[in-house]
A and B are shown apart, each in its own frame.
Chain A
Amino acid sequence: MAQLLEQFINGLVLGGIYALIAVGYTMVYGIIQLINFAHGEIFMFGAYLALMLITVFNIPFWIAVPTSMLLCAMLGMLIDLVAYRPLRDAPRLSALITAIGISLVLQNLARMIWSARPQQFPTETLPAFFVSEVNMQTGEVLNAIPLPGGGILPYRDVCILVLAVVLMIALNRLIHLTKIGKAMRACAQNRVASNLMGIKTNQVIAITFAIGSALGAVAGIMVGLSENITPTMGYYKGVAAFAAAVLGGIGNITGAMLGGIIIGLAEVLGAGYISGGYRLAIAYIIMIAVIVIRPSGLLGKSTATRA
């Protein structure tokens, strides 16, 4: 039972990260029906840029995070401007292939700049309460909340969870309460009509890319805190997050959040109780099962045009 609680929290933390990435896929899909395969690479750049800001420019962690988000937002907008905007009216397949190309370019660019060697945030540059390590004599873990039954929850994971929830709520409010949110929803409904109504659709699309990329950057930094930062990290997490977006109903933001949590929980519980050798496979099986039963995903609208 105690183990279940700890596994459940592990799953929620991972799910929160997937949800942050999945939102980026789904927002772009909702507005221009493009699966932005380069999104996983923006996530990876988020982690690398933060690492660079901290280690090369000696910027404190708390400032490096928003700076990296800002840089990734700009990168997302740049990709849209250079690669996707010229193809806005081209067949959808052209944009999709371009997206795959951009993804490869960014991945290899990262390999050239930072090499394929795995890197980590140096412990001493992180806020002190982010660093939890067990005391080998007493078995107590520093900077963590003890859970009933012997489990532990590091402060860092609490921060990740809280930040993910706050960002999700903020995004939800932005979409539903602000003018730009309304413009996004209008573009998603009908881009041509929105244009006729005086909405600057290209600008709205650019902002969509910026928001999705900034959230992806945060997720990249969160992952970098406990895992390796490598040029291929975006691929693995990106695929799982994409599965989450499809599971929730691609194009639907709440669906992406829900999908992220479900995939995260399925992966962790599957690895903890069934077999760790197939953790991604378990997530995919759930996704396929849902798609077979509900082709439009959990919360997606069943329209003929949505794949």
Chain B
Amino acid sequence: MRNWLTGLLIIGLVSIFGCEQQKELKVAVAAPYTGGAAAFGEMIRRGAELKQKEINEAGGINGMKLTLLFEDDAGKGSEASLVAERIASNPQIVAVVGHFNSSCSLAGQKIYDRAGIVELSPGSTAVNVCEGSPWTFRNLYRDDFQGKFIAQYIDNVLTDLESVAVFFDNDDYGRGLRNAFVSEAERIGLNLVASEAYERDSTNFKAQLTSIKSKNPDAIFISGLFQEAGLIVKQGREAGVTAQFFGADGVDSPDFLTIAGSAAEGVYLTTPFTFGAAGAEAKQMAANFEAFHGVAPDTWAALTYDAVGMIAEALEKTYNADAAIADNRTAIREHLASLDTPEEGYKGVTGLTYFDINGDTVNKPAYVKIVKDGQFVAAEKQLLELK
């Protein structure tokens, strides 16, 4: 009797797991769901969930269901390594969408590279993220482009701003972006009067702001993330700083507006994507997103939505249920690497994505937004081509 029951149980379990392996395709979405950058992670999760829902409602990937595993790296490189080990050693996961922070993408890269699994980042902009591994891709611009863009925008569009100061986060992202900005500013002759650093998770910036204020810059470029940037803008206006604040994609979060409050008014920032300047598909996605989650999507939700879409497309074209996991992981990489011309690129809501030899996205533009009446809106004048 007992043997018979055990036998039945084993048959039952085998059939359940057997079925599941065939029906389900697992993709990890690694991002900061806790910690200082949690607001980014929240939007990344929502963007991924919307794409997952749409794919599965349309019948899945060749009849197989797409399952997303959300892995929290807390925005820290040390956590990202642990998460990457866990993902790489799970033989059911075929690819990774993430990480968000450049330092996390770099920390995870070593492990993904060894395990042979694709890492497609919807948020890391540090210059060297993709160079280090054939397995790392991203679907947005790099900081050298972004830093150059901001310097040219200030020089060519905001022509009454003649002197600038840089206030940067002392980590991979902040330093890389600052360096790109500074070298372009020097090249085009923008007058750089001060360069100050701060530590991630600082909350008091009065000392550096006082020091910047004494140099009287017309504009202050904050090379960092929204949590610190929000406080910098707020404390700057309290301390009598009248300079024009300018931020980059790290500031692009609705939480920036709540932290800075009324001081956010008139702040400029660059972003890899903005719904205000996007096509009909993006507007449709925004409407679906709002219906599903009850809030409007942001840049990161849209980029993650596209990143999940790219992995799904790769799976649809290459996945072979009978092949070994390593071969399936490799096939995804080969597919992404083959998207190397505009004709073959992936057309998503954030525009056309195709890669160069490193896995960097080529020719995706930057947009400028400004805070108006407590909302991000596309700036009146965009800069479409760099000199």
Would you call B199 and A278 a contact (CB within 8 A)? yes
Of A134, A267, A278, the contact of B241 (CB 8 Å cutoff): A134
Would you call A152 and B240 a contact (CB within 8 A)? yes
8 Å CB interface, B29-45 against A:
34-35, 38-39
Would you call A120 and B263 a contact (CB within 8 A)? no
Residue A98, interface by CB 8 Å: no
**When each residue 203-232 of chain B gets 1 if its CB lies under 8 Å from chain A and 0 otherwise, what string results?**
111111011001000000000000100110
Residues of B within 8 A of A139 (CB): 240, 242
Docked Cα-Cα span, A280 to B204, in Å, equals 11
Residue B23, interface by CB 8 Å: no
Would you call B263 and A6 a contact (CB within 8 A)? no
Residues of B within 8 A of A228 (CB): 203, 227, 231, 259
**Known contacts A117-B38, A277-B170; A271 and B238 CB within 8 A of each other:** no
Residue B275, interface by CB 8 Å: no
Nearest 4 CB-CB pairs, A to B? A277-B197, A277-B170, A271-B207, A227-B203
Of B39, B203, B208, B214, the contact of A233 (CB 8 Å cutoff): B203
Residues of B within 8 A of A272 (CB): 207-208, 210-211
Which chain A residues have a beta carbon within 8 Å of chain B's beta carbons?
Answer: 2-3, 6-7, 10-11, 14, 116-118, 120, 123, 132-134, 136, 139-141, 144, 150-152, 154, 223, 226-228, 232-233, 236, 267-273, 275-280
**Known contacts A133-B263, A236-B201; A227 and B240 CB within 8 A of each other:** no
Residues of A within 8 A of B238 (CB): 132-134, 141, 154, 226
Residue B26, interface by CB 8 Å: no
CB distance from B171 to the nearest CB of A (A): 9
CB distance from B41 to the nearest CB of A (A): 10
Would you call B210 and A151 a contact (CB within 8 A)? yes
Interface contact tally, CB-CB below 8 A: 107
Residues of B within 8 A of A232 (CB): 201
Which chain B residues have a beta carbon within 8 Å of chain A's beta carbons?
Answer: 34-35, 38-39, 170, 196-199, 201-208, 210-211, 214, 227, 230-231, 234-235, 237-242, 255, 258-259, 261-263, 266
Of B34, B196, B261, the contact of A116 (CB 8 Å cutoff): B34
Would you call B237 and A10 a contact (CB within 8 A)? no
Would you call A10 and B241 a contact (CB within 8 A)? no
Would you call B239 and A152 a contact (CB within 8 A)? yes
Residues of B within 8 A of A151 (CB): 210, 240
Would you call B35 and A116 a contact (CB within 8 A)? yes
Docked Cα-Cα span, A270 to B199, in Å, equals 13
Residues of B within 8 A of A132 (CB): 238
Docked Cα-Cα span, A115 to B199, in Å, equals 23
**Known contacts A117-B38, A117-B255, A132-B238; A276 and B197 CB within 8 A of each other:** yes
Would you call B263 and A227 a contact (CB within 8 A)? no
Of B34, B199, B205, B259, the contact of A277 (CB 8 Å cutoff): B199
In the complex formed, the residue of B with least CB distance to A139 is B242
Docked Cα-Cα span, A141 to B201, in Å, equals 27
CB distance from B182 to the nearest CB of A (A): 15
Would you call A269 and B207 a contact (CB within 8 A)? yes
Would you call A276 and B208 a contact (CB within 8 A)? yes
CB distance from A302 to the nearest CB of B (A): 34
Residues of B within 8 A of A14 (CB): 204, 206
Would you call A133 and B262 a contact (CB within 8 A)? yes
Docked Cα-Cα span, A275 to B261, in Å, equals 28
Docked Cα-Cα span, A3 to B239, in Å, equals 12
In the complex formed, the residue of A with least CB distance to B208 is A276
Residues of A within 8 A of B206 (CB): 10, 14, 268
Would you call A226 and B235 a contact (CB within 8 A)? yes
Residues of B within 8 A of A276 (CB): 170, 196-199, 202, 205, 207-208
